[in-house]
Amino acid sequence: MKEECKRYSQINSEKKQPNVPWQQSPKINAHVDEQVKDSIPALDRKALLQQCYTNNPFNMRQCEKRSQAEVVAAEKKQQAVIEQVMIDQLSRAVISDPEQNSIICSQQLPCLPFFLEKTPLHYRKRTLHETKIKTHSTLTENMLSNKLRFDARILSRNGRDACRDLMGFFFAHDKSLTIYEYRQFGSNRTNALPFIHKGIYSHQHGQRKGKQYQLQDFYVGANLTFLSSYHLSLPKRIKENPLITLRITHVDQLALDNLRKKFMENGDGLTEKEASDRNVFKHIQDMVKEKLHQRAVRILTGLGKYFRNLDKKGNGLLCKADFKQALEIFHLEVPEKDFEDLWLILDINGDGQVDCGEFKRAIFGEMNEYRKAFLRKAYMKLDFTKTGSVSMVDIKKCYCAKKHPHVISGCATEEEIKSSFIETLENACSHMHEVLYCEFEDYYEGLSCEVSDDEDFINILRNSWGI
- CATH code of the domain in which 187 resides: 2.30.29.170
Query: Does residue 41 sit in the same domain as residue 151?
Result: no
The number of distinct structural domains making up the chain is 4
Question: What 3-state class would DSSP assign to 389?
Answer: strand
Q: Is residue 257 part of a domain?
A: yes
- Predicted local confidence at residue 51, as pLDDT: 84
- Predicted local confidence at residue 121, as pLDDT: 55
Contacts of range 188-195, beta carbons closer than 8 Å, 24 or more positions apart? 190/77, 190/80, 191/84, 192/80, 192/81, 192/84, 192/85, 192/167, 194/88, 194/233, 195/164, 195/166, 195/234
Indicate the average pLDDT of the chain.
81
* Closest C-alpha among 242, 239, 238, 226 to residue 179: 226
- Predicted local confidence at residue 46, as pLDDT: 87
Look at residues 315, 343, 364 and tell me which one is the last residue of a structural domain.
Answer: 364
Distances (CA, A) of 326 to 14, 237, 238, 319, 351: 40, 28, 28, 11, 20
Q: Is residue 75 part of a domain?
A: no
- Predicted local confidence at residue 385, as pLDDT: 83
Residues of the chain with pLDDT under 50: 6, 8-9, 11-39, 93-97, 100, 103-110, 112, 114, 116, 128-131, 133, 135
- Predicted local confidence at residue 262, as pLDDT: 86
Angle at 341 between CA 340 and CA 345, to 5 degrees: 110
Q: Is residue 87 part of a domain?
A: no
Look at residues 241, 268, 295 and tell me which one is the last residue of a structural domain.
Answer: 268
Eight-class DSSP state of 157: S
Query: Does residue 357 sit in the same domain as residue 399?
Result: no
- For 421-438, what is each residue's pLDDT tens digit? 999 999 889 888 899 999
Q: Which domain holds residue 248?
A: 146-268
Q: Is residue 85 part of a domain?
A: no
Query: Does residue 338 sit in the same domain as residue 374?
Result: no
- Predicted local confidence at residue 139, as pLDDT: 64
The kind and range of the H/E element at 148 are strand 147-154
Question: What 3-state class would DSSP assign to 226?
Answer: strand
- Predicted local confidence at residue 119, as pLDDT: 54
The kind and range of the H/E element at 150 are strand 147-154
Query: Does residue 334 sit in the same domain as residue 391?
Result: no
- Predicted local confidence at residue 165, as pLDDT: 86
- Predicted local confidence at residue 4, as pLDDT: 54
Do the Cβ atoms of 205 and 245 come closer than 8 Å?
yes
Q: Is residue 72 part of a domain?
A: no
Query: Does residue 201 sit in the same domain as residue 216?
Result: yes
Query: Does residue 360 sit in the same domain as residue 306?
Result: yes
H-type alpha helices, 31-157: 34-39, 42-48, 60-90, 98-108, 114-117, 141-144
Query: Does residue 160 sit in the same domain as residue 260?
Result: yes
Look at residues 364, 390, 418 and tell me which one is the last residue of a structural domain.
Answer: 364
Predicted TM-score (pTM) of this structure: 0.79
Q: Is residue 91 part of a domain?
A: no
Query: Does residue 216 sit in the same domain as residue 170?
Result: yes
Query: Does residue 373 sit in the same domain as residue 415?
Result: yes
Query: Does residue 384 sit in the same domain as residue 453?
Result: yes
- Predicted local confidence at residue 316, as pLDDT: 86
Phi then psi for residue 385, to 5 deg, are -90, -5
Query: Does residue 285 sit in the same domain as residue 334?
Result: yes
Query: Does residue 287 sit in the same domain as residue 359?
Result: yes
